[in-house]
Structure 1
Amino acid sequence: MAVQRRYLSLAAAGLTTAMTLSLTSCGSGAGDGGDVTLKLIAADYGDNAANSSKHYWNRLVKDFEKKNPGIKVDVSVYSWTDVDKKVEELVKSGKAPDMAQIGAYADYAAEGKLYKARDVLSIPVQADFVPALAEAGEYGREQYGMPFGSSTRRLFYNKKLFAEAGITDPPETWAQVSADAAKLKAKGVKMPYALPLGPEETQAETLMWMLSGGGSYTDSIGKYTIDSKENVKTFEWLKKDLVTPGLTGGDPAKLNRQDAFNAFAAGDVGMLNGHPTLMKQAEAKGVEYGTVELPGPAGKAKATMGVADWMTAFKQNGHRDQVGKFLDFVYNEKNVMDFSGHYGLLPVTTSGSQAMLADSKYAKLHSFLRQLDNAVFYPADKTSWPLVSKTVKAKMGKAVGANGNPAGVLSDIQNTANEADNTAE
């Protein structure tokens, strides 16, 4: 089945905190000779105060202000759980920021509130985006979402636990995943395979398994295919071969992604799907790990999941030129590499990607980066996606539980998706 290359937010990802960046001044705006006030709300990728991306923005802004008199920058921080809601509140109250770095853009684009990428970025900067990510930021064949951070997913495994269970090679097929998980369970591993289908990021784990089984949320023309035969087979396998035999170490519906990551870093998980930030977390705890491509029914999966967060530029304040000047600066190679390298993310530009691949310092990210061009992302260009994602979070965990009915749950979500799509049209 063809899969649609559509793309969304690091969100899943899973990186958790966010911030407001305000470019402020004493003047009233463009055209009056005074300073221009710009406001940017952006996500913080740090996991503590010392690692907050507020520090990244402070350095970048200081450099920008030196080169651009008349544009000043103030930074304030929001958590990831609050950032999208904060932007929504500002927009509804008529106080839209000039820019927002958030998880989705389609609703604002559909309402005509956003500048197109080509309206604010210089041609070289827009052309430098990784093509797959630029395409993912399109609504109505125009790019409105400018990728800011990205990642792909791989299967992580604990080398020590594998060795103790007599497992010599990481799995490439689902049958091997199940067999290896059984060996890990026999050795007393708490979570042989961590399956986080709790409410935090269910939509991500769901897509990874859909892709592993040859399915996806949508087809090549953007039609929802949630209850496809491929997806039904995938979740029936999960229920029968992983959850029912007790190989997940508990109820997947109650396990959140960050809790699964924490358990892996504590040495309590044999295998799980993860993104690059898990590497730092595991290394900090001394866990020796390996990563491989996602396993599939008969071999390695043909595609993996990708995630992107989006920079958007709002029209309300009329600061198109100043916004463009700032964003051109944000996306220069140095700043892209500083951000990506520090937070273990993948560069969203071709120049940044090439620089990362050429630098052995980032060797552990290379396998994730090489997957980016063919990664499949959330259907973020669909205004119906936020509701569909919310529905997946509420229902998919129970689908593979003791009394779960994968086919029935997938059908229910498909019906919700169809109704939301029809309403959006």
Structure 2
Amino acid sequence: MRRGLAAAVVVAALTISASACSGGSSGSDTSGPVTITWWDTSDATNEAGTFKGLVAEFEKANPDVKVEYVSVPFGDAQTKFQTAAGSKGAPDVLRADVGWTPGFVEAGFLAPLDGTAAAAESAKFKPNLIEQAKYQGKLYGVPQVTDTLALMYNKELFAKAGITTAPTTWDALKADLAKVKEKTGVDGFAFNPQSYYAMPFLYGEGADMVDAGKKQITLNSPAAVKGIDTLNSVLETPGIRKLDTTSNAYANIMDAFNSGKVASIIQGPWENANVFKGAAFKDKNNLGIVALPAGSAGQGAPLGGHNLVAYAGSDAKHQEASQKFIAFMTSAPSQVKVALANGTLPTRDDAYTAEVNANPGIAGYSPLLAGGKPRQPLAQYSSLYTPFETQLIKIVSKQETTKPGLDKAAAEAKKLLPEFSTQ
């Protein structure tokens, strides 16, 4: 989300490129330790330090392998990896969003991990997360961290408004927002108009952006229209925070929630650590986390997270080192350390220790994982968020009505999926 100065971006790109090209996958020296390059896409300010510490532990335990750590902004990583892999200069290991797997596999960028050291303990991971790391029956990643969306709310503000039970439907949420505003003067809810945060409104009506099995674009289906109409009705409720469509919307919304100026938001566990730093949540137990309200077809939220994947262009020696590194970084002890330090959710049951479960943020989100909706196994799926978001912003800003706006989004999706039919 962050944007740096143009010069800084250029320097960073050159540094990353140089790091990738000088990494272990291109080295010919067979003496001494193997050097592999890892692109870490975690938050450089709040999360990366934990992973750097694990890298040092891995190197100490495995003196035959050196890891060249490179922090790559998440928003740039997909494009940078595609460019680097296309020129045989990609890192040996990448922390990849779960939605990138199909596209990277079809491009020939990822090495299958079935039967390797990286996947030796795959039976200990949550089954739905392992399935999401597969494509066409083969395993291409090992889940490092997972997430889903939930309703985060300020318990104190809800209590002051006389609300004793978290809302389970969007209509109930709308009623609660008005109460919060009336009783506390605080905005009841803020919505981030990014397409990912609108997915629960589609899922709640039984819709998605596409139906991969039927090869059909469903962004403008009646169910999808109903879902976005529901979102619009929420945004028109008294007590809603003024819609923010600026480039700083994400940060602005989080600042408002963390400081107690907004009572509820839709958010994921990657923000747990930041929320607990906020003035409103010095008492961690003031943070409420519940499943998102349901639509007419039920409740649904996207199942997300990050996998560690191995570059297919690395030679056998570097592949072996990469597999060993992936196994270490996704082991139960490593995941426990990450969860305790960063407040994020482990991907294997044996990492949910008593100490990990004592974190209110983790305890709130972990029961919701079983109901998360995995992304469809389609190479272009992640790219569909862009045309959806372009029209979503216009729709919620009242520049476009729902059906015509979603028709335009579907038309753009058709360009990405010409073999798919439309509604």
TM-score using structure 1 length: 0.82
Q: Distance in 1 between matches of 2:61 and 2:240?
A: 54
Alpha-carbon offset, residue 43 of structure 1: 1.3
- Alignment length (residue pairs): 396
**Match for 1:325: what amino acid?**
K
For residue 371 of structure 1, give the secondary structure of its aligned residue in structure 2.
Answer: helix
Alpha-carbon offset, residue 74 of structure 1: 2.9
- TM alignment of 1:126-145, pairs within 5 A: 126-145=122-141
Deviations 1:86-113 (A, max 9, x none): 3233223321211111222222210222
**Match for 1:156: what amino acid?**
M
Which of these residues, 351, 356, 361, is aligned with residue 358 of structure 2?
361
Matched, 1:76 2:70: yes
Which of these residues, 361, 367, 372, is aligned with residue 369 of structure 2?
372
Deviations 1:177-201 (A, max 9, x none): 111112233346453221110xxxx
Structure 1: 5+ residue runs without aligned partners? 1-10, 12-16
* Preserved CA contact (<8 Å) 1:26 1:34: no
**Partner in structure 1 of residue 299 of structure 2:** 302
For residue 191 of structure 1, give the secondary structure of its aligned residue in structure 2.
Answer: coil
Alpha-carbon offset, residue 212 of structure 1: 2.9
**Partner in structure 1 of residue 347 of structure 2:** 348
**Partner in structure 2 of residue 243 of structure 1:** 235
* Preserved CA contact (<8 Å) 2:36 2:322: yes
Matched, 1:232 2:232: no
Which of these residues, 378, 382, 398, is aligned with residue 394 of structure 2?
398
168-177 or 263-272, which deviates more: 168-177
Matched, 1:317 2:311: no
TM-score using structure 2 length: 0.83
**Partner in structure 1 of residue 266 of structure 2:** 273
Q: Distance in 2 between matches of 1:120 and 1:64?
A: 18
Q: Distance in 2 between matches of 1:362 and 1:206?
A: 27
Matched, 1:177 2:176: no
* Preserved CA contact (<8 Å) 1:227 1:414: yes
Alpha-carbon offset, residue 415 of structure 1: 2.8
**Match for 1:351: what amino acid?**
D
Alpha-carbon offset, residue 359 of structure 1: 5.1
Matched, 1:421 2:420: no
**Partner in structure 1 of residue 161 of structure 2:** 165
Q: Distance in 1 between matches of 2:311 and 2:76?
A: 19
Alpha-carbon offset, residue 296 of structure 1: 1.5
**Partner in structure 2 of residue 207 of structure 1:** 199
Q: Distance in 2 between matches of 1:358 and 1:340?
A: 10
Alpha-carbon offset, residue 375 of structure 1: 0.7
Classify 1:58/1:253 alpha carbon distance in 2 versus 1 (closer, same or farther; 3 Å): closer
Deviations 1:151-186 (A, max 9, x none): 122112222322333333221222111111122333
For residue 167 of structure 1, give the secondary structure of its aligned residue in structure 2.
Answer: coil
Classify 1:43/1:26 alpha carbon distance in 2 versus 1 (closer, same or farther; 3 Å): closer
**Match for 1:38: what amino acid?**
I
* Preserved CA contact (<8 Å) 1:64 1:329: yes
Q: Distance in 1 between matches of 2:348 and 2:210?
A: 26
**Partner in structure 1 of residue 51 of structure 2:** 57
Identical-pair percentage: 21
Structure 2: 5+ residue runs without aligned partners? 2-11, 281-285
**Match for 2:59: what amino acid?**
E
Deviations 1:117-148 (A, max 9, x none): 21543553233332111111222222223322
* Preserved CA contact (<8 Å) 1:138 1:145: yes
* Preserved CA contact (<8 Å) 1:191 1:248: yes
Q: Distance in 2 between matches of 1:188 and 1:277?
A: 28
Q: Distance in 2 between matches of 1:277 and 1:45?
A: 9
Q: Distance in 2 between matches of 1:356 and 1:377?
A: 25
